[in-house]
Structure 1
Amino acid sequence: MKRSIRAVVVGLTVACACVGAAGMAFAQDIKERNIKFAFANTADSAHGIGAKRFAEMVASKSGGKLNVKLYGSGTLGGEAVVASAMQGGTIEMSMMGPGLLTGMDKEFGVFDTPFLFDSFKEVDAALDGPVGKKLLDKLPAKGLVGLSYWDHGFRILTNSKRPIAKLEDIQGLKIRVQQIPVFIESFNAMGANAVPMPFPELYSALEQKAVDGQENPFISVEVTKFYEVQKYASTTRHAYSPLLVLMSKKFWDQLSADERKVLTDAANEVKSYERQVSRELDAKALDTLKSRGMVITEVSAQERARMRDKLKPVIDKHRQTTGELGKEMTAEVERIRSGK
């Protein structure tokens, strides 16, 4: 028995030595590096929670050599400032929605297409598939590298006037929208008076009744306390925004293949976790809004289809600006939806 135990111990010692040697060989391709990871949302948001898990995973995978330092709440600047800094190589990482990227390449405007996705299943399959990868492959030419798609969520509609259960209920409402042409045209086409406005001005505009409503994910409505000035919320889910995890190409070009693999693998391994956290927080926010007195109206699949049909001319016009990748994304979603 003693001989058997000794053999096991010797075997484990040899195995550990081999693993250690392999680890040291791997570590030789990883240098001590500090990585600034800047993002707009708070540390306790799904974005911040995902970033923290990413930093921990990178440290683990790199033997502590790659140190990801988090800068949330826009402490290093807004998205435009951070994107410019990444292109210049002074900030290494960020995550942001596709809005700013659309200004760099119109094909990223595909995510602004109204009613493109019906479910998270469609979202995940499309973004993790070949069309999602093609979009990421366009970023190096803009001085950025796309590591993964995390979750930002479906947008819903709130207002202070009445419940919205069908297309006709939108008629005549003054709705604040993002300063994006397709959003302005979409809400006007559904009978609303679309009012483009910067987000920081929105709470005051709602409070003063300059606009009747707005559209954002449930979690944004909760965090910004729009429930104080909005009575009704409707699950229109009229648009979905992913969160792109980005890296400076100037920094990326300095990395070894092993360092790149650590960062890419970590971003993709955290992806499912961040998506789950984001969606759970959004669902929790819905419950919180109910407890705050908001009236939540579920918009049926049939009504969402009616809204999509109403917007067909707007959607067709928008697809002309998103090029071939826009058409490919639409075809991919339709394939996923049909189960083929």
Structure 2
Amino acid sequence: MRTIMAITLFILTGILTALFFGFDFSKAANSLEYDDEQEGMKDEIVIKFSHVAAENTPKGRAARKFASLVQERTRGKIKVQIFANGSLYNDQNEYQALLDGHVQMIAPATSKLTKHYPKWQVLDLPFAFPTQKAVQEAYEGKIGNILLNTLDSDHVKGLTFWYNGYKQITNDEKPIILPEDFTRMHFRIMPSPVIKSQFKMLDASTSVLPFNKVYRNLEVQFIDGEENTFSNIYTKKLYRHQKYLTISNHAYLGYVVLMNGKFWNRLSPENKKIINQALKETTEWNHRHSIETNDQQKRYLMKTNALKIHYLTNEEEKRWKEALGPVYHKAAPIVGKKLMNEVDRLQKKYSY
């Protein structure tokens, strides 16, 4: 008992001594050594840029070029951190992550915006843009301007469009040559009503799956096939679980570069100018290199002999267009007259 009382008395004495004389915590804090690597960190701006494509695809390369230009021209004051291959967010949750401010930039496929902005379905219309020049005029002309202006700038800032390439059809069942060959097959698609409508017109079923889960779903044969660019088919090795490829060029896959609206509004005019200029140069570079990349990876796919490849003839393409014609009528009231008229104008201008 005496031992317990002695210990208690000792503790109370210590507490009272500390209260009486005080404890100078400021000296303890100030005694920490100064770390010169911390200098200037409060002035650094970090942009987290999340995307789902591989690093050696048109989007992956464009993201790295943009990051390099921004860091160089701001002398490291703005650092763009790239998170490729869906390593941070997949294509089904990256948009919400942008709105919540968990990332500052994303570059989703344009189809991914159709859920929030229905007019964006115009870019998914089958055979909408006959040539690369038609795609470029759509993105950088009237169609692109109208679509970017539909975005809610308080929440998301649309900056530019990036290019990938025309989509092709792959599957593991049989050669797809005519529209009726799609009957009773199951395809992975992106979440766009126009894309879903296309496959429905062809009597095929669909599932919306994240891009980074396509390979696995082909492997376990949950889906029979998918539509994609040569660069995505090659870099994601989708050909390993597919036997047939139809070179159809039936639609174009491109991206829109988005930034969190609040983050953009907090940037200084000077930094906005630097970012816009870097994006302009990157977009011009991306347009050229997307064509080269898809051509190169198309040749790689042909060399692998992993796929039996069929090129649509003019007559076969005509059959596809006739079968998919009703998609235009269904989309027109949603897309609106201005955009539909511009698609019609581009088709006439660049028809071949």
Residue 195 of structure 1, aligned match among 198, 201, 206: 206
2:33 is matched with: none
> What amino acid maps onto 2:141 in structure 1?
G
SS in 1 for 2:107: strand
Classify 1:172/1:140 alpha carbon distance in 2 versus 1 (closer, same or farther; 3 Å): closer
2:328 corresponds to which residue?
A: 315
Give the aligned length.
Answer: 308
Instruction: Report if aligned partners of 1:87, 1:250 keep a CA contact under 8 Å in 2.
Output: no
By how many angstroms is 1:327 displaced? Answer: 1.7
In the alignment, what sits opposite 1:337? 350
Paired AA for residue 115 in structure 1: F
Displacement after TM superposition at 1:238 (Å): 1.5
- Is 1:239 paired with 2:251? yes
Shift of 1:271: 0.7
Q: 2:76 & 2:219 partners in 1: Cα distance? A: 49
Query: How much does 1:129 deviate?
Result: 0.6
- Corresponding position: 1:303 with 2:313: no
| Offset of residue 127 of structure 1 | 0.7
CA positional deviation for 1:48: 1.9
The SS at the match of 1:238 is coil
Partner residue, 1:271: 283
The answer to whether 1:224 aligns with 2:236 is yes
Question: Structure 1, residues 62-107: CA drift from partner, whole Å, max 9, x if none?
Answer: 3332222222222332245432233233422121112332121111
Q: How far has the Cα of 1:210 moved from its partner?
A: 4.9
Q: What is the identity percentage for the equivalent residue pairs of Structure 1 and Structure 2?
A: 28
Which ranges in structure 2 are unaligned for 5 or more consecutive residues?
A: 1-42
2:54–2:236 contact (8 Å) kept in structure 1: no
Moved more, 77-86 or 250-259: 77-86
Over aligned residues, Cα RMSD in angstroms? 2.5
8 A contact 1:104–1:142 mirrored in 2: no
| TM-superposed deviation, 1:54 | 0.7
Distance 1:176 1:64 in 2: 41
The residue type equivalent to 2:231 in the other structure is: I
Correspondent of 1:158 among 147, 166, 170: 170
Q: Cα deviation per residue 1:222-261 (whole Å; 9 max; x = unaligned)?
A: 2332322222111111211211111111011112222111
**How big is the shift at 1:291?**
2.2
Structure 2 distance, partners of 1:241, 1:32, is 34
Query: CA offsets, 1:105-148, max 9 Å, x none?
Result: 11111122122112211101111112211211222346111111
Distance (whole Å) between structure 2 residues aligned to residue 61 and residue 88 of structure 1: 28
For residue 173 of structure 1, report the CA deviation from its aligned partner.
4.0
Which one is further off, 43-52 or 106-115?
A: 43-52
Taking a change above 3 Å as real, the CA distance of residues 135 and 254 of structure 1, as seen in their structure-2 partners, is same
* 1:303 positional shift: 2.6
Contact 2:167–2:230 (Cα < 8 Å) also in 1: yes
Specify whether residues 62 and 290 from structure 1 end up closer, same or farther in structure 2 by C-alpha distance, changes over 3 A only.
Answer: same
Q: Tell me whether 311-320 or 297-306 shows the greater mean CA deviation.
A: 297-306
Q: Does 1:112 align with 2:124?
A: yes
Q: Which amino acid aligns with 1:60?
A: E
In the alignment, structure 1 segments of 5+ residues that lack a partner are 1-30
In 2, the alpha carbon distance for the partners of 1:131 and 1:330 equals 8
- Structure 1 residues 165 and 244: alpha-carbon distance in aligned structure 2, compared to 1, 3 A threshold: same
What letter corresponds to residue 196 of structure 1 in structure 2? S
Q: Highest Rg: 1 or 2? A: 2
Match of 1:88 in 2: 100
Alpha-carbon spacing, 1:174–1:95, altered in 2? closer, same or farther (3 Å): closer
Cα distance in 1 for partners of 2:222, 2:267 equals 51
* Corresponding position of 1:72: 84
Does the 8 Å CA contact 1:176/1:196 hold for their aligned counterparts?
yes
Q: CA deviation at 1:332?
A: 4.1
Task: Supply the distance in 2 between the matched residues of 1:223 and 1:89 (Cα, whole angstroms).
Answer: 29
Partner Cα distance (2:250, 2:179) in 1: 12
Q: Distance in 1 between matches of 2:90 and 2:219?
A: 25
1:298 deviation in Å?
Answer: 1.2
Residues 226 and 36 of structure 1, relative CA distance in 2, 3 Å threshold? closer
SS at match of 1:44: coil
Letter in 2 for 1:285: Q
The answer for the alignment partner of 1:24 in structure 2 is none
What secondary structure is seen at the aligned counterpart in 2 of 1:237?
coil
For 2:166 and 2:73, locate their aligned partners in 1 and report how far apart those are by CA, in whole Å: 33
